Amino acid sequence: MNFIKDNKKFIVVIIFTFILFLIVTISNIHASDFSTKFGKLENTNPQKILFIGNSYLYYNDSLHNHFKRIVEEKNPNYDGGRNVKSATIGGSRLKHHNLDHLLTPKAISLVKKFDLVILQGGSGESQSKKERMVFSEKVKELTSKIKLKGSETALYMIHAYAETHKNFDPNLIRVIEKMYVEAGKKNNALVIPVGLAFENSYKKDPYLKLHKEDGTHPNLLGTYLAACVVYASIYKDNPIGIKYDYFGSVNLEDKLFLQKIAHETVKEFY
């Protein structure tokens, strides 16, 4: 009887050990896939940064201005005016930008070479399978050009339309997420989850509006949230506690809420 009991205990131990091994193995596989799925920057502290996009970026005093002020607060020796630039065309898609010119030394101010180029696609690029394929091919083309210049690429995942927009679709953010993640994965480009931060914010507080009345462009709070997400994604630093509030235009409660959303979104995404 003792022999049988001992055998049963041994079998239970073997089965438990095997199950534990499977769990650890599967977890490692997922962790490995997750860590490479969205790409990562070789230069973890890029100084010269170029934003390329459309009105999603330049509304509300331009996202790059908010971003550089946050970086300057965190690093008082950083000169955002000299190092952070933005090239935007209203209503544009990636195919509309003359990247060859933008990457030419001193084409923008005195910057000879950007460490990081952030690409923001147009909202229309997510609207059909054909448009998404064009987006994917264009990201591949632009990423290759950026790499040849010795720079790195990040993809700015846009937000979805709000309910006031005629093309609103509650599933659109999933389409956008897949589109940007797949492009990032294929091109080893960092994906900046701005769109997911908008979604998370609306889930937690649907009354705090991040869009203008047109349902497509960000309002000031939307741009502030986006700037926090970009900062946290690039530098892997917690934005909670940032004092910057656009010279008093963002109240303390909204500021802290949006900083927390940015932090939680980035932490979960990566």
Q: 124: domain CATH number? A: 3.40.50.1110
Q: Which residues, in sequence order, are CB contacts of 270 under 8 Å at separation 6+?
A: 34, 38, 233, 236
Whether 149 has a pLDDT exceeding 60, the answer reads: yes
| Distance separating alpha carbons of residues 139 and 155, to the nearest angstrom | 9
Interval 38-63 mean pLDDT: 94
Instruction: Assign 260 a pLDDT band (cuts: 50, 70, 90).
Output: very high
Whether 24 has a pLDDT exceeding 60, the answer reads: no
Q: Domain range for residue 191? A: 38-269
| Nearest Cα to Cα of residue 223 among 86, 93, 58 | 58
Total number of domains constituting the chain: 1
Residue 243 lies in a domain: yes
Percent of the chain past pLDDT 70, that is, above it, reads 86
Helical residues (DSSP H) of the chain, grouped into ranges: 2-37, 55-58, 63-74, 80-83, 99-102, 129-148, 172-187, 194-204, 220-235, 252-269
Length of the chain: 270
Residue 217 lies in a domain: yes
Burial annotation 198-207 (CB, 10 A radius, 16+ → b, else e): bbbbbeeeee
Residue 145 lies in a domain: yes
Q: Residue 192: which region, alpha, beta or left (left: phi > 0; alpha: psi -120 to 50)?
A: beta
| Distance separating alpha carbons of residues 20 and 143, to the nearest angstrom | 41
The alpha carbon of 141 is separated from its chain's Cα centroid by a whole number of angstroms, namely: 20
Residue 224 lies in a domain: yes
Residue 163 lies in a domain: yes
Residue 33 lies in a domain: no
Instruction: Assign 15 a pLDDT band (cuts: 50, 70, 90).
Output: low
Per-residue pLDDT, 32: 34
Whether 20 has a pLDDT exceeding 60, the answer reads: no
| Distance separating alpha carbons of residues 45 and 80, to the nearest angstrom | 13
Q: Do 220 and 200 form a contact (C-beta atoms < 8 A)?
A: no
Residue 95 lies in a domain: yes
